[in-house]
Chains A and B, each alone.
Chain A
Amino acid sequence: MFRRVFRFYYDGFRKMTWGRKLWGIILVKLFIMFAILRLFFFPDLLKRDFSSDEERADYVLEQITNP
């Protein structure tokens, strides 16, 4: 079963013609998104800067109660 599924996907990718270009675009896009944008420009600030939910809540409370 596993072999058949593997063969199905393997053959599908191998016989790809115009789809190869699309996969190229997808991979470049994912690289830009996760290896560059996510890593250097878009950290999850609350997750990165605070170690517990209580600290995060405290920070956000400070923010939203000081308009």
Chain B
Amino acid sequence: MYWNKSLILNHMLESIDMSLVDWSRGQFALTAMFHWIFVPLTLGLSFIVAFMHTIYVKTGDEEWKRITKFWMKLFGINFAIGVSTGIILEFEFGTNWSNYSWFVGDIFGAPLALEGIFAFFMESTFIAIMFFGWNKVSKRFHLTASWLTAFGASLSAIWILVANAWMQHPVGTAFNPDMARNEMTNFWDVIFSDVAVNKFLHTITSSFLLGSVFVIGISAWFLLRKREVLFARRSTVVAAVFGVIAAIATIATGDTSARIMARKQPMKFAAMEALYEGQTHAPLVAIGAMRTDTTKRLNPQEEFIFKIEIPNALSYMVFLTPNGYIPGISDLVYGNEEQGFMPYEERIERGAVAIQTLKELKKAKERGDEATYSALREKFNDPVWLDEYYQHFGYGYYKGRELKELIPNVKLSFYSFHVMVILGGHFLIISIVALWLSLKNRWGNHKWLLWVALITMPMPWIASQAGWVLTELGRQPWVVYELMPTISAVTRLKPAAVQLTFWIFLATFTVLFIAEIKIMVTQIKKGPGGK
């Protein structure tokens, strides 16, 4: 299998097998999506628990202690099942994406090391105090531990999101052609890039919203069964307040995210709206369904069977004026001189020059040709050459390949974006209604509303996963935007070996998921107890 060195070398110069890329991507997606079942609930529930714990410490009301302990227990189950599932992603970097993990160099290493040092240990220590500390440590210290657990969880998320943001928008680094890796030139540029800041804010606020909808949904179940009514109503109030704030923040950061994407990743933006021809006064498709047309210039091309549009909204969303030009997929692929978009054919040529330069530099170094080496090495320090050629490096891999390989899956990008947005709106409404009726002491009087809250409970996971599908799939074929495509990032292993681990993961994850649901449901059915 793939723990054999000779196997790697044998495959080194063979042409890339697309099924290898697909299986490797599938394996990574499976692991990341499984990991992401647990992370947002940990982030959201930790803060809700901290709020409830604060109310208990402030009021001394034992009912709030029961409430805090119940949600803390669900937080613990989720944390225990989910903890370390993310480490598998790091295994995959080293085995399945070895070119990529070398190429990104310390961009990934530094943030992940910081995550390990600051957040993980902080989280682990304070979680222990949070669970074992009842009647053992002072109330205030115990409460501090709950808050530090919540902040520690979000702190953990910062670093991996910064690393992901760099892959979407590589800044603050320089490529070292001798070592074939990117080296950080400005740490602050990496962590404070607008993509990183917004990605972090959008991810944590949407996770807070997920936690709120979860608490509202479980509480609705208790109210429907007329069990633990006070517990359920109080839980709903805390979750609804947090949910309304989180929903508004999620929508605001989502809006900023779209604006940033339109400028930094116009192909993803065009794909998520299935916009093929660029235009000013571009409408936003509120809802629509598509079919594939294989007769168009961009073959295949998605066409709407039906759609409901909001006139001018897309241009307005990006430029705050309807006159803003939104490039379509055709503008980006075939170029649009008037709007300043270079055709992909040209970018491919320039990228191929950059790859060839790197290849020649390596050869010159090997044969000890100092003059040639120095001349070529200098290019990688020349801002003009970097701008004209290295910037298009990744496109060079598509020389002789079909242009459509540079277009992400439009249908999936469109649907994942719209599912996320529509569900986000639904969560805001649910949170507002739950808060409004709770304040009027009428939450629980309408059975159908409780059913809606209960049915809504799993939906934030769908929205959250859809958001990541758009982020990662809409960026395709890039692993590092415009510099490294999947075909170059993947380790050239036998596809069968990757398939094997894919199925092992699927089986393991299924068992873990069933365990989580089973333990969670058992504890929910038991209720807060302790009266």
Task: Answer whether A and B are interacting partners.
Answer: yes
B92 within 8 A of A: yes
- Which B residues from 60 to 94 make CB contacts under 8 A with A? 73, 76-77, 80-81, 83-84, 87-88, 91-92, 94
Cβ contact of B396, chosen from A8, A44, A53, A67, cutoff 8 A: A67
| Residue pair A57, B102 in contact (C-beta under 8 Å) | yes
CA A61 to CA B357, docked complex, whole Å: 12
B519 within 8 A of A: yes
Prevailing SS type, chain B contact patch:
helix
Q: Which residues of B contact A33 (CB under 8 A)?
A: 84, 87-88, 91
| Residue pair B87, A56 in contact (C-beta under 8 Å) | no
| Residue pair B84, A30 in contact (C-beta under 8 Å) | yes
Bitwise, B4-47 to A at CB < 8 A (1) or not (0) is 01001000110010000000000000000000000000000000
| Residue pair B132, A42 in contact (C-beta under 8 Å) | no
Quote the shortest CB–CB distance from B109 to chain A (angstroms): 13
Q: How large is the interface on A (under 10, 10 to 19, 20 to 34, 35 or more residues)?
A: 35 or more
- Which A residues from 5 to 36 make CB contacts under 8 A with B? 8-9, 11-12, 18-19, 21-23, 25-26, 29-30, 32-33
| Residue pair B81, A64 in contact (C-beta under 8 Å) | no
Counting chain B CB atoms within 10 Å of each CB, which of A37, A47, A56 scores highest?
A37
Q: Which residues of B contact A63 (CB under 8 A)?
A: 12, 99, 488, 492
B508 within 8 A of A: yes
Stretch touching chain A among B176-184, B370-378, B462-470: B176-184
Q: Which residues of B contact A64 (CB under 8 A)?
A: 99, 103, 180, 355, 358, 484, 488
| Residue pair B77, A9 in contact (C-beta under 8 Å) | no
Counting chain A CB atoms within 10 Å of each CB, which of B98, B178, B181 scores highest?
B98
Contact A21 B179, CB 8 Å, known A64-B99, A67-B397: no
CA A63 to CA B488, docked complex, whole Å: 7
| Residue pair A22, B491 in contact (C-beta under 8 Å) | no
| Residue pair B92, A67 in contact (C-beta under 8 Å) | no
B188 within 8 A of A: no
B501 within 8 A of A: yes
Contact A66 B13, CB 8 Å, known A21-B519, A53-B179: yes
A40 within 8 A of B: yes
Bitwise, B489-531 to A at CB < 8 A (1) or not (0) is 0011000000011001000100010010001000100000000
| Residue pair A26, B102 in contact (C-beta under 8 Å) | no
Quote the shortest CB–CB distance from A24 to chain B (angstroms): 10
- Which B residues from 377 to 399 make CB contacts under 8 A with A? 396-397, 399
- Which residue of B is nearest A44, CB measured? B94
CA A19 to CA B76, docked complex, whole Å: 8
Quote the shortest CB–CB distance from A29 to chain B (angstroms): 7
Bitwise, B103-135 to A at CB < 8 A (1) or not (0) is 100000000000000000000000010011000
- Which residue of B is nearest A36, CB measured? B504
CA A58 to CA B181, docked complex, whole Å: 11
| Residue pair A37, B519 in contact (C-beta under 8 Å) | no
A45 within 8 A of B: yes
Contact A11 B132, CB 8 Å, known A25-B80, A44-B94: yes
- Which residue of B is nearest A10, CB measured? B132
Bitwise, B124-161 to A at CB < 8 A (1) or not (0) is 00001001100011000000000000000000000000
Q: Which residues of B contact A66 (CB under 8 A)?
A: 12-13, 359
Quote the shortest CB–CB distance from B508 to chain A (angstroms): 6
CA A67 to CA B355, docked complex, whole Å: 9
Cβ contact of B102, chosen from A9, A23, A41, A60, cutoff 8 A: A60
| Residue pair A42, B91 in contact (C-beta under 8 Å) | yes
| Residue pair B359, A43 in contact (C-beta under 8 Å) | no
Q: Which residues of A contact B523 (CB under 8 A)?
A: 18
| Residue pair A56, B132 in contact (C-beta under 8 Å) | no
| Residue pair A12, B99 in contact (C-beta under 8 Å) | no
Quote the shortest CB–CB distance from A16 to chain B (angstroms): 9
Contact A46 B84, CB 8 Å, known A9-B132, A64-B180, A65-B355: no
| Residue pair B3, A43 in contact (C-beta under 8 Å) | yes
| Residue pair B91, A37 in contact (C-beta under 8 Å) | yes
Counting chain A CB atoms within 10 Å of each CB, which of B103, B397, B488 scores highest?
B488
Instruction: List 6 extra interface pairs beyond A12-B131, A42-B92, CB under 8 A.
Output: A23-B80, A25-B81, A26-B80, A41-B501, A57-B102, A63-B492
The 7 lowest CB-CB distance pairs between A and B, nearest first, are A12-B132, A44-B94, A42-B91, A22-B80, A65-B359, A67-B397, A57-B179
17 cross-chain CB contacts under 8 A: A9-B128, A12-B128, A18-B519, A22-B81, A22-B519, A40-B3, A41-B2, A41-B91, A43-B3, A45-B8, A45-B491, A60-B103, A61-B180, A63-B99, A65-B359, A66-B359, A67-B399
- Residues in B lying within 8 Å of A, measured CB to CB: 1-3, 5, 8, 12-13, 16, 73, 76-77, 80-81, 83-84, 87-88, 91-92, 94-95, 98-99, 101-103, 128, 131-132, 136-137, 178-181, 355-356, 358-359, 362, 396-397, 399, 484, 487-488, 491-492, 500-501, 504, 508, 512, 515, 519, 523
